[in-house]
């Protein structure tokens, strides 16, 4: 479904060239949940931006459902670390924003927005503004918006990094539930190995910049997963340790 062929990205900062991504090839299947993990600032976000079509790769190509991504990829929903809710709109109007853009009537927008708002557990907050919500609630609102938009692929850039541990768990649960319901393909970037193993079907470990895939690990844990307890199983521990072993090399090298 998503195909990266020898993708590289180089940024120019004045005289200096920064290699963010180097020669990544990978294939992501439909309905797959893929976690990309690696040291901070290694070019993971660059990868997502390119899949979203926000900028083109310097070399190589990105194929989405058989077509080359040349402009913004409107089939994906993109959730960044900083939630991109419009601060002057209430939760309901934010969630309904994609419908408003496609010209859906106001009454229908409100009804459909309220449905997904309830679905992500934000009942009673529809009229609130983003700055009146907690971080977790804003993430829920973003998920609701993505749900209503009906994107077939969700790109998540460190979506829950700023949340505390308990909140993270409930967001993980929500994310897995929604992905299972909608059959979405999910690609998410994280630096939290626990999160990666808990959620993903496959974990890709990235090297330091320029990012390349150092290790690919399938996560054969049964679904639906219990996000709270899956981490205490032996299989989880083995996968976690194996990945950590490789990841530690990257972090270790970074320190040198």
Partner 1 sequence: MTAPEADARPASLPNDGSGAGSYVLGSGFMVVCQVTLGIVLLVLWQGASGRLIDNFFISNPVDVGTRLVGWIKDGSLFVHIWATVYATVMGFIVGSVGGILLGVWLGVSPFTSRLLNPYLSALNALPKVALAPLFVLWFGLGIESKIALAAVLVLFLVFLNTYAGVREVDQDLIDGARLMRATRVQVITKVIIPSATSWMFAGLKISVPYALIGAVLGEMIASNRGLGYLVQFSGSQFDSAGVFAVLLVIALLAVVLNFLVEIVQYRMQQWRVVGR
What does the binding site for partner 1 look like in residue numbers (CB under 8 A)? 52, 54, 72-74, 76-78, 80, 82, 84, 86-88, 97-98, 100-102, 131-132, 149
Residue 135 CB, nearest approach to partner 1 (Å): 12
Distance CA(176)–CA(239), nearest Å, equals 19
In order, the DSSP letters of 79-109 are E-SS----TTS-HHHHHTHHHHHTT--HHHH
- Which C-beta is closer to partner 1: that of 73 or that of 207? 73
- Which C-beta is closer to partner 1: that of 155 or that of 227? 155
Length of the chain: 256
Which residues, in sequence order, are CB contacts of 172 under 8 Å at separation 6+?
A: 160, 195, 198, 199, 227
Residue 122 CB, nearest approach to partner 1 (Å): 15
- Which C-beta is closer to partner 1: that of 100 or that of 254? 100
Residue 77 CB, nearest approach to partner 1 (Å): 7
Structural contact between residues 98 and 148, judged by C-beta atoms closer than 8 angstroms: yes
In order, the DSSP letters of 183-226 are T-EEEEEES-HHHHHHH-SEEEEE-SSSB-EEEEEE----SS--
Residue 32 CB, nearest approach to partner 1 (Å): 20
Buried b (16+ CB within 10 A) or exposed e, 18-55: eebbbebebebeebbbbbbbbbeebbbbbbbbbbbbee
Euclidean distance between the first and the last CA atom of the chain, given in angstroms as a whole number = 38
- Which C-beta is closer to partner 1: that of 159 or that of 197? 159
Residue 199 CB, nearest approach to partner 1 (Å): 22
- Which C-beta is closer to partner 1: that of 76 or that of 247? 76
Looking at the DSSP assignment, which residues form a beta bridge with residue 17?
Answer: 12
Distance CA(105)–CA(101), nearest Å, equals 10
Residue 53 CB, nearest approach to partner 1 (Å): 8
Residue 57 CB, nearest approach to partner 1 (Å): 17
- Which C-beta is closer to partner 1: that of 82 or that of 218? 82
- Which C-beta is closer to partner 1: that of 97 or that of 251? 97
């Amino acid at each position: 479904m998503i195909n990266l062929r020898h993708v590289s990205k180089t940024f120019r900062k004045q005289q200096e060239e920064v290699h963010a991504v180097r020669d990544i090839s990978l294939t992501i299947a439909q309905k797959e949940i893929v976690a990309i993990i690696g040291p901070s600032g290694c070019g993971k976000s660059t990868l997502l931006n390119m899949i979203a079509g926000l900028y083109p790769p310097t070399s190589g190509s990105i194929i989405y459902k058989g077509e080359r991504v040349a402009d913004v990829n409107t089939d994906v929903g993109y959730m960044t670390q900083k939630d991109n809710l419009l601060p002057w709109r209430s939760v309901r109007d934010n969630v309904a924003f994609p419908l408003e853009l496609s010209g859906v009537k106001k009454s229908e927008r409100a009804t459909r927005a309220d449905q997904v708002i309830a679905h992500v557990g934000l009942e009673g907050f529809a009229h609130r503004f983003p700055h009146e919500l907690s971080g977790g609630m804003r993430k829920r609102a973003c998920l609701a918006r993505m749900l209503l938009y009906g994107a077939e692929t969700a790109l998540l850039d460190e979506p829950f990094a700023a949340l505390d541990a308990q909140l993270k768990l409930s967001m993980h649960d929500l994310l897995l539930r929604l992905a299972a319901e909608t059959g979405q393909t999910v690609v998410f970037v994280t630096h939290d190995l626990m999160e990666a193993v808990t959620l993903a079907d496959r974990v890709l470990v990235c090297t330091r910049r320029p990012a390349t895939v150092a290790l690919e690990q399938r996560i054969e844990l049964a679904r639906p997963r219990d996000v709270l307890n899956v981490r205490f199983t032996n299989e989880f521990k083995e996968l976690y340790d194996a990945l950590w072993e490789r990841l530690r090399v990257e972090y270790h090298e970074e320190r040198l």
